[in-house]
Structures are given as C-alpha cells and as structure tokens.
Amino acid sequence: MTSKITKRPTTLADGRELIYFDDADSTLGEQHSVDSRTLDPRPVTATMRQDILTGEWVSIAAARQNRVFLPPADQDPLAPQTPQNPSEVPALYDVAVFENRSPSFGPALAGSENSPTGLDDLADLGLGRTRSSIGRCEVVCFSPDHEGSFGTQTVSRARTVIEAWADRTEALSALEGVQQVFPFENRGEAIGVTLHHPHGQIYSYPYITPKTQRTLDSIEGTSPDMFQRILDFERGGDRVVLSGEHWTAFVPFAARWPIEVHMLPHRQIPDFAATSDVERDELATLYLKLLRGIDAIYDSPTPYIAAWHQAPVNRARDTFRLHLQLTSPRRAADKLKYLAGSESAMGAWIGDVTPEAAAENIRKAIERV
C-alpha cells in the first residue's frame, strides 16, 4: 500500500509549503491547481516568554486571535477552493498538509533574531526572558469534506494520514532548532474546535514540552525500559480495550479523564518516522476501530483530544516510546468534566470514573461498531 501513496509538494501564494498525499486507491489525477490568491504577508514570528515560577515557556501568538470561527460549509478554509471560497487548498485532494497561516511557532527557525541557542539556553531562569517562537505549525486535512473526523475516514484514507504523519515527522525533525514534533487532533466544540472540517495539526516546538520532560524524568527515575514495563503491566490486567499484533490500546492505571485511552506499539519506536509499513497498516485499522468505539459510547459524537507523543528530536530516542493519549472530558451523555480549582490551579487530579469501569464501557462500545 505504501508504494502507491503519492506525495506531491507545492507552495501556496504566500510561499507556505503545501503537500498533497494521494490515497493508494486515489481516483484523483496527477495535476493540482495553482494557488492564484493575492495574500497579505505572513505574520511575524511570535515571541515566547518564560514563566520563572516553573521555567516553562509561553508563546504569545496574538495573530491567532483573528482566525476563522466555525464558518459555514461554503466558506470552509480547509475545503478545496471554489470561485466563491478562496480557501487554503487550491485543488480537490485526498489528504493535504500545509503550513498554518497564523502559527503559534514559526515561520522563523534557529538563527533568527532572539531565537533560542539550544536547550541549555532555554533551561536558564530569569525575569523578563524572551525568545522567538521558532518552529513550524502545520494543518493536516484528513478529507476534502466539510464535516467528520479521523474516525469517519476509510482504512485507505487513515493509512494515508499515518503516512503523512511519518513523512512530516521526519521532515520537521530535520528543521534547524526544532526539538520536538507533535501530531494531534482536536475534535468537537467542547474541546474548543473552531473548524468542523476533519483535520489535525502538527506542532514543531523549539523546546522539549513540559509533559514530555516529566516523562523523561520518570524514565530516569525508574528504568530505560519503562514503556515496555507499562505495556506488559497493562496487557496483564483488565483495562485493555483493543489489541493487535503490533499495537495495544488500554485505559491507563491512573487515568485522569472520564474517557482516556493510551495506545502503544509493541516495540521501542521513538516516532512515526520509525514505524514499519506493517505497523502503519495495522494502526490504520485499529485506530479507526478505537475512535469509532469512542464515538459509540453515547448517542452523539464524543469530543476528544488525540495526542500522539513522540520522542524529542535529539534525546531519549531509545527510551521514549511513541504513544497515543486520547482524552475526553465527557463523563456522561450530557455532562462534561470541567477542570476547576484542584486540577487547573494545583494540577491535582480527581477521577470521576474508575479506569476499570471506563475500560469496560469502551470495550462494549467497540463491540457495537
């Protein structure tokens, strides 16, 4: 299947990169339209500010304030262009990836004015410290259709998106100054989605994210094979919801969210670029089954964040394992879990549903799809 997935790079009118990925069974022709729009210059690269209380960096990307909010289908910026809709994608497509017009990171890379000089530079603490928010943010369109999600795609289309994730992970990891690459999908208005179009994003950070750094600390504090130990522990318990030859999905032992599922590959893989063809093939089927099961828990689609955690570009490649963390705040058909005082202010979580009960509910839902 992989040999038939076709990659077709081009550029948009303002110079941003656009890449078409055609399905293995695509019915599209080889030619794609040229973007003939007249566009304003891209916003300047945002600026990061350091929080001295935590050492964390916050990107202040004010240009994002004016992005499109829940447009009608005929003004969908991710749909193929028409005379009435000068969208971001000039031609009909299967999967399209392009640089975000108003990114949180980039378009500048290392070597630009006030850019970080490395991880040691970013680790220093000081009042009023700033750095340029170098990196890149890309949009991954799963389909030309106005509505849907990853879970509504065909197996062939899911496989194409996974191929795009692998391709972009490799390319973005090679950009100067990029320290980590993060593919993810936000689904549903309850999550804060501003476009109904089925799509995800890929962020390329100039630092190692706080979540990943905490995991690296845990690896250092336990053992280099921590992820394998987690996988063995979960596969021996009653929280597994789906398993194949190469991947296993489970509700984690200390799940925070009412719906939370992790998925791990069965071998040490740092990121999508390192996965094999057979692993990508199986993931296309299993991941769709998982997402459709999550949607089948209740009578309406489930809002979620699907976060694919990858190893940093230059650290822990042989210990940090690629994995999915899918979370939803939906704790009942008509109720959401809101992060109030304890979770938001103190980071002290209280679970509303036992992980074992959640796993049983998800297994039953998967059986129904």
Query: pLDDT (tens digit, 9 = 90+) per residue, 58-97?
Result: 999 988 877 788 899 999 999 999 999 999 999 999 999 9
- Total number of domains in the chain: 2
- Of 212, 278, 292, 203, the residue nearest 247 (C-alpha): 278
Angle at 38 between CA 193 and CA 195, to 5 degrees: 10
Question: What is residue 1's predicted lDDT score, i.e. its pLDDT?
Answer: 46
Q: pTM of this prediction?
A: 0.97
- Confirm whether 246 is a catalytic residue: no
φ/ψ of residue 224, rounded to 5:
-60, -25
Q: What is the mean pLDDT of residues 315-329?
A: 98
Write the CATH number for 21: 3.30.428.10
Tokens of 220: 């250092």
Instruction: Give the whole-angstrom CA distance, residue 95 versus residue 256.
Output: 33
Is the pLDDT at 2 greater than 60? The verdict is: no
Same domain, 216 and 340: yes
Distance, in Å, from the CA atom of 207 to the CA atom of 256, rounded to the nearest integer, reads: 25
Q: Same structural domain for residues 7 and 112?
A: yes
pLDDT in tens, 198-213: 999 999 999 999 999 9
Which residue among the candidates 32, 196, 199, 262 is catalytic per the annotation? 199
Same-domain check for residues 141 and 269: no
Both 133 and 109 in one domain: the answer is: yes
Q: What is the pLDDT of residues 123-136, one digit of tens each?
A: 999 999 999 999 99
3: confidence class by pLDDT, cuts 50, 70, 90:
low
pLDDT value at residue 29: 82
Task: Point out the domain boundary residue: 207, 229, 248.
Answer: 207
Last residue of a domain, one of 207, 231, 247: 207
- How does the average pLDDT of the chain come out, rounded? 96
Which of 207, 235, 254 finishes a domain?
A: 207
Instruction: Read off the pLDDT of residues 236-295 as tens digits, 9 standing for 90 and up.
Output: 999 999 999 999 999 999 999 999 999 999 999 999 999 999 999 999 999 999 999 999
Give the pLDDT confidence of 55-69 residue by residue, as tens digits. Answer: 999 999 988 877 788
Q: What is the pLDDT of residue 32?
A: 74
> Given a cut of 90, is residue 316 above it in pLDDT?
yes
194 with 226, same domain: the answer is: no
- Residue-range definition of the domain harbouring residue 92: 2-207
- Tell me the backbone φ, ψ of residue 221, rounded to 5 degrees: -85, -10
Are 57 and 189 in the same domain?
yes
Asked whether residue 143 carries a pLDDT value surpassing 70, the answer given is: yes
